[in-house]
Amino acid sequence: MKAIEIEGLIKEFDGIRAVDGISLEIEYGEIFSLLGPNGAGKTTTISILATLLKPTKGKVKVNGYDVVTQAGKVRHSIGIVFQDPSLDDRLTARENLDIHGRLYHMKKDERRKRIEEVLEMVELQERADSLVKTFSGGMRRRLEIARGLMHKPRILFLDEPTLGLDPQTRRHIWNYIEKLRNEGVTVLLTTHYMEEADKLADRVAIIDKGKIVALGSPSELKDSIGGDVIKIRCSDANKMAAILSSNGFNAMIVDNEIIIKAKKAEKEIPRVFALAKDIEIKSIMYKEPSLEDVFIHYTGKAYREEAGDEMEAIKRRWRMRR
Ligand SMILES: Nc1ncnc2c1ncn2[C@@H]1O[C@H](COP(=O)(O)OP(=O)(O)OP(=O)(O)O)[C@@H](O)[C@H]1O
Ligand SMILES: [Mg+2]
């Protein structure tokens, strides 16, 4: 049995396909990441796994239970940290956790013990009795993770666990997620931060417009695009790309920059200069591929958040806090 089995999942909202035929299996104990830009379908997929939305089509099992016909059993198997904040900030940290434990019918002693454990895990013991409204964004996020773990779920869903947090807080949260690995919790996290998926996930599914465009471990994905990535800026990108393409390179223009791949970049760069002739090369650099390059490779477009979209998501988070 797998922790999560998804087969041919489709979700439509009034004719819009938010999830367009996803199939995926996640093993117990894995940290798995759905990585994709705004609107890719990450939250929709997690919401279906968590039984908050019904699939339009397809079969989905979580912890061996069907999300439609055995929704109650699924809910008991999982913890979830939502993309948008969902703590009651008029209550203390401890009270938020206690309410959650009651919802899951945990006994008083069990709740008391578990509250200490989860608070310790996210290093919030000292603030246990402070009102959540006095917490910073990072502290709230940590408390939400603690709450997701309160009833000892086998599987934890984290929807954008570090959205809008500063780099230092983000790294703290990564540490807690790493700890979950040792505790044997299966984690499915969504993110649009390449670095986050790269650092944390055993395997990553890159999704775009509701479809999986690539799936594998971060290093498999990077290897799959074949060697180093060379980026060239020059006086005439179209002409240069055409020359490169007719000389055996697979050249792509993204953001006015030419991207080519090479097994060994050092060997190919002199050839690029030789081919340029009257085209002025303004800059040329090469690097080992990142997940960003993987995204570009499989979708043919730049991985760029609409800056406004990320700001919108962060603002929404703040609004909901009030
Ligand atoms: N309740 C809804 N009604 C109509 N359309 C929806 C609804 N929820 C999501 N969508 C649409 O489905 C698509 C996928 O949205 P989803 O929230 O799953 O994306 P996401 O990958 O989580 O994006 P983000 O990174 O912004 O959180 C988007 O086009 C969105 O507008
Ligand atoms: Mg989302």
Which residue ranges form the domains of the chain, and what is each CATH number? Answer: 4-221 (3.40.50.300), 226-288 (3.30.70.270)
Over the Cα atoms of the chain, what is R_g? 23
The answer for residues whose C-beta is within 8 angstroms of residue 145's C-beta and 6 or more apart is: 81, 122, 158, 161, 173, 176
Give the tens place of pLDDT for each residue, 201-243.
999 999 999 999 999 999 999 988 878 899 999 999 999 999 9
Ligand nearest to the Cα of 36, by number: 1
Task: Look at residue 106 in the predicted model and tell me its pLDDT.
Answer: 95
Task: Look at residue 143 in the predicted model and tell me its pLDDT.
Answer: 95
Ligand nearest to the Cα of 310, by number: 1
pLDDT greater at residue 28 or residue 261: 28
Q: Which ligand 1 atom is the nearest neighbour of the CA of 40? A: 21
92-105: average pLDDT: 96
Q: What b/e sequence results for 277-293 when a residue is b if at least 16 CB atoms lie within 10 Å of its CB, and e otherwise?
A: eeeeeeebebeebbbeb
Q: State which of 17, 33, 43 you would mutate to test the pocket of ligand 1, scoring each by most atoms of that ligand within 8 A of its C-beta.
A: 43
- Contact present, 122 and 139 (Cβ < 8 Å): no
Which structure tokens are listed for 207? 């999704």
Q: Which ligand 1 atom is the nearest neighbour of the CA of 37? A: 25
Confidence (pTM) = 0.86
Which structure tokens are listed for 261? 């791949």
Across 14-28, 120-134, 306-320, least confident range: 306-320
Confidence of residue 92 (pLDDT cuts 50, 70, 90): very high
90-116: average pLDDT: 96
Question: What is the Å distance from ligand 2's center to 45 Cα?
Answer: 9
Question: What is the Å distance from ligand 2's center to 137 Cα?
Answer: 18
The answer for residues whose C-beta is within 8 angstroms of residue 28's C-beta and 6 or more apart is: 2, 3, 154, 184, 186
Question: What is the Å distance from ligand 1's center to 281 Cα?
Answer: 41
6-22: average pLDDT: 96
Task: Look at residue 225 in the predicted model and tell me its pLDDT.
Answer: 85
Atom 25 in ligand 1: which residue has the minimum CA distance? 38
Question: What is the Å distance from ligand 1's center to 148 Cα?
Answer: 22
Task: Look at residue 174 in the predicted model and tell me its pLDDT.
Answer: 92
Q: What are phi and psi of 311, to 5 degrees?
A: -60, -40
Q: State which of 9, 11, 12, 16 you would mutate to test the pocket of ligand 1, scoring each by most atoms of that ligand within 8 A of its C-beta.
A: 16
Q: Which ligand 1 atom is the nearest neighbour of the CA of 207? A: 21
- Contact present, 170 and 161 (Cβ < 8 Å): no
Pairing of strands 186-191, 31-35: parallel
Confidence of residue 300 (pLDDT cuts 50, 70, 90): confident
Question: What is the Å distance from ligand 1's center to 41 Cα?
Answer: 6
Atom 31 in ligand 1: which residue has the minimum CA distance? 39
Q: State which of 9, 13, 17, 83 you would mutate to test the pocket of ligand 1, scoring each by most atoms of that ligand within 8 A of its C-beta.
A: 13
Task: Look at residue 261 in the predicted model and tell me its pLDDT.
Answer: 87
Question: What is the rounded average pLDDT for all residues in the chain?
Answer: 91
- Contact present, 71 and 48 (Cβ < 8 Å): no
Task: Look at residue 301 in the predicted model and tell me its pLDDT.
Answer: 78
Question: What is the Å distance from ligand 2's center to 159 Cα?
Answer: 7
In percent, the amount of the chain with pLDDT more than 90 equals 71
Task: Look at residue 192 in the predicted model and tell me its pLDDT.
Answer: 86
Task: Look at residue 258 in the predicted model and tell me its pLDDT.
Answer: 94
- Provide the residue type at 208 as one letter: D
pLDDT at 277 over 80: yes
Which structure tokens are listed for 69? 């016909």
pLDDT at 312 over 70: no
pLDDT greater at residue 92 or residue 165: 92
Atom 24 in ligand 1: which residue has the minimum CA distance? 38
pLDDT at 322 over 50: no
Question: What is the Å distance from ligand 1's center to 38 Cα?
Answer: 8
Q: What are phi and psi of 271, to 5 degrees?
A: -65, -40
196-204: average pLDDT: 95
Residues with CB under 6 A from ligand 1: 13, 16, 18, 36, 38-44, 83, 192, 313
Pairing of strands 4-13, 203-208: unpaired
Ligand nearest to the Cα of 11, by number: 1
